[in-house]
Amino acid sequence: MNKSPDNGREGEGMRGKPMPSGAQGLAGWFIGEVLPLEPILMQFLHRNWRNQSDIVDLRQEVYARVWSAARKELPQHTKRFVLTTARNLIINRLRDEHVVPIEVIADVDALGAAMDAPGVDQAVIARDELRRLQGALDQLPPRCREAVVLAHVEGLAGHEIAQRMNISRPTVSVHLAQGLRALTSIMYGEDVAREKKP
Amino acid sequence: MIPAPADALEQRAAEWLQQQRYWKDWSPADQAALDAWLEESPNHAVAYWRLAGGLDRTERLAALRPRRAHAVSGFFSALWPVLPKLVAAFAAASVLGGGALVMLNGPHYRDDGLQTYSTGLGGHQIITLADGSQIELNTDTRLRAEITAHRRFVTLERGEAFFQIVHDEKRPFVVQAGGQRITDLGTQFLARRETGRLEVDLVEGKARVDTTGQNARSALLLPGDRAIATANELSVTKKAPHKLQEQLGWRRGVIVFDNATLADAAAELNRYNQQKIVIVGSGVGQLTLNATLPANNVGLFVRSARTLFNLQVENRGNEIVISR
């Protein structure tokens, strides 16, 4: 009597949303449409901002502005919106220095058009990602890599990793957090963006 | 307002995400706390969702994950985290708690204490000897252990094993492999016997390796040393700690390939599996790869190689042929 309704609810709860409803849609849009643009965004920022050590902060701010705006209303053209936000951010920052490179203004449309070009094979992308993932794993410190491999190749949960590696929970957490950051950078093509920098 | 640097934000978001996704004790209260943090600032939200997106992508790269369809390997891999612990705990109990046990039973070494242990292809076994020392056997390995009140002597007949020796000055622990011999001086080491030669990697403590051929040689090994001994030659090199850990990957059920050629990787995998990988065509065997793969999953290895190098794969039952 007690069990069946509970089970039913639990089943639904398992699929439950990590964010309150509404925000989930926003997160889904952000992951599905904004993040895949990261290589273009980074390329744009690298090209238009001299101090390369600011780039990650700029990217973060672009995302935060995009998120805030999209919360009110999702933009119709995501790519144009993201790049325009980046452009405006850079122009605002440069204005303090009284310099606005013309390239910044022209670049949004040029980049946008280039990315509309058809024909990037999905299989090629997957192969490329796999290779980059391998590269990312290889660059991790050995113990960190071990934790990530146990989590993602062997599918172990955190406490199992702690047992297997004979290390404490906080240490596992440190390794996994580090792994998440490194893998995410690779998944969104950070190294590719750097290579293309003029 | 000066926003927090992106680096610090990302670190904070990574801490949240790993708690949520990798651990089984994530509670509704934790989720509420995370929701509140995400609501606090768009900076928090985007840092978190960016990492969540990266994690999703990582997980979608299915080629790197073992198929759960292999029920047997799934079962064993589920057991693995527990098994070594149990054995280790048992060993520790018999050493540390030995005081009481010894009082009751006295040291009880059978003088004919000769035991044979072996594993088949893909096998993996941990044994604890009467003296508390532990031997972990890798695939296709056979050894004889003779533990008596006066001597501890193991003959590695074939294969590879990891030794964790409880030191006893009065009874040195000796591993014999063909004409080569390892004598422990309180130690952990890996020994692998190939035709006509013995490879020893010392992890902890000290050990001596002797060859017993015509030009008998001897070397003292320290942690990180690797000795290769044949009938007449003995060489010692240093090995980086992470290399050594990689070589011990089989203890966790995986093989780590670090810039390995496809030919070497296939030979290594073939040590573990009935179905053998055969590489055909010029240059194919010289392709190099980096990977960490389950030792018992030929299919995953082959799929990865095919994806990485654009190769042809043909399954012929006993063999899988990889070619251009």
pLDDT of res. A110: 56
pLDDT of res. B129: 85
Kindly state whether residues B289 and B161 are assigned to the same domain: no
* Inter-chain touch A30–B253, beta carbons under 8 Å: no
Q: Which residues from chain B sit within 8 angstroms of residue A39, using beta carbons?
A: none
Probe site for chain B from A12, A161, A164, A185 (most B CB atoms < 10 A): A164
CATH 1.10.10.10 is right for the domain spanning A140-196: yes
Q: What is the pLDDT of residues B17-52, one digit of tens each?
A: 999 999 888 888 888 899 999 999 999 999 999 999
Number of helices and strands in chain A (H, E) = 11, 0
* Inter-chain touch A142–B241, beta carbons under 8 Å: yes
Kindly state whether residues B231 and B150 are assigned to the same domain: yes
pLDDT tops 70 at residue B141:
yes
Domain-located, residue B248: no
Q: What is the pLDDT of residues B91-139, one digit of tens each?
A: 333 333 222 222 222 233 334 467 889 888 888 888 888 888 889 999 9
- For B20, the closest chain A residue by CA position comes to A18
Answer with the residue of higher pLDDT: B37 or A96.
Answer: B37
User: Mean pLDDT throughout B58-72?
Assistant: 44
What is the band of A87 on the pLDDT scale with cuts at 50, 70, 90? confident
Least confident range from A184-188, B108-112, B248-252: namely B108-112
Q: Are B187 and B147 contacting, i.e. CB atoms less than 8 angstroms apart?
A: no
Kindly state whether residues B113 and B205 are assigned to the same domain: yes
The domain boundary, picked from B243, B266, B298, lies at B243
Q: What is the pLDDT of residues B280-307, one digit of tens each?
A: 988 889 888 877 777 888 888 888 788 7
Q: Are A69 and A89 contacting, i.e. CB atoms less than 8 angstroms apart?
A: no
What is the band of B143 on the pLDDT scale with cuts at 50, 70, 90? very high
Q: Where are the domains of chain A?
A: 1-98, 101-139, 140-196
Kindly state whether residues B18 and B89 are assigned to the same domain: yes
Domain-located, residue B176: yes
Kindly state whether residues B10 and B98 are assigned to the same domain: yes
Number of folded domains that form chain B: 3
- Phi (first) and psi of residue B170, to 5 degrees: -80, -25
What is the band of A179 on the pLDDT scale with cuts at 50, 70, 90? very high
Kindly state whether residues B110 and B214 are assigned to the same domain: yes
pLDDT of res. A128: 64
CB atoms within 10 A of CB B141: 25
What is the band of B244 on the pLDDT scale with cuts at 50, 70, 90? confident
Please give the residue range of the domain that contains residue B34: 1-103
Q: How far apart are CA A151 and CA B306, in angstroms?
A: 24
User: Mean pLDDT throughout A55-61?
Assistant: 92
Summary mean pLDDT of chain A: 73
Answer with the residue of higher pLDDT: B16 or A125.
Answer: B16
**Contact B307/A at CB under 8 A:** yes
- For A38, the closest chain B residue by CA position comes to B50
Domain-located, residue B309: yes
Report the C-alpha dihedral over residues A105, A108, A110, A116, rounded to 10 degrees.
-170
pLDDT of res. B249: 83
Kindly state whether residues B134 and B225 are assigned to the same domain: yes
Answer with the residue of higher pLDDT: B179 or A85.
Answer: A85
Q: Which residues from chain B sit within 8 angstroms of residue A153, using beta carbons?
A: 64-66, 254, 292-294
Q: Are A86 and A69 contacting, i.e. CB atoms less than 8 angstroms apart?
A: no
Least confident range from A14-18, A83-87, B179-183: namely A14-18
Summary mean pLDDT of chain B: 77
What is the band of B87 on the pLDDT scale with cuts at 50, 70, 90? very low
pLDDT of res. A178: 92
Kindly state whether residues B147 and B260 are assigned to the same domain: no
ipTM of the complex in this document: 0.75
* Inter-chain touch A155–B254, beta carbons under 8 Å: no
Q: How far apart are CA B159 and CA B214, in angstroms?
A: 25
Give me the CATH number covering residue B129: 2.60.120.1440
- Phi (first) and psi of residue B288, to 5 degrees: -110, 150
CATH of A1-98, one of 1.10.1740, 1.10.3470, 3.30.360, 1.25.10: 1.10.1740
pLDDT of res. A129: 64
Kindly state whether residues B238 and B263 are assigned to the same domain: no
Kindly state whether residues B73 and B173 are assigned to the same domain: no
Q: B223 by DSSP, 3-state: which?
A: coil
pLDDT of res. B28: 86
Q: How far apart are CA B44 and CA B6, in angstroms?
A: 10
pLDDT of res. B61: 60
pTM for this prediction: 0.45
CA distance to partner chain A, nearest, from residue B165 (Å) = 19
Q: What is the pLDDT of residues B150-165, one digit of tens each?
A: 888 899 999 999 998 8
Kindly state whether residues B121 and B219 are assigned to the same domain: yes
The domain boundary, picked from B243, B273, B308, lies at B243
What is the band of A64 on the pLDDT scale with cuts at 50, 70, 90? very high
Answer with the residue of higher pLDDT: B84 or A156.
Answer: A156
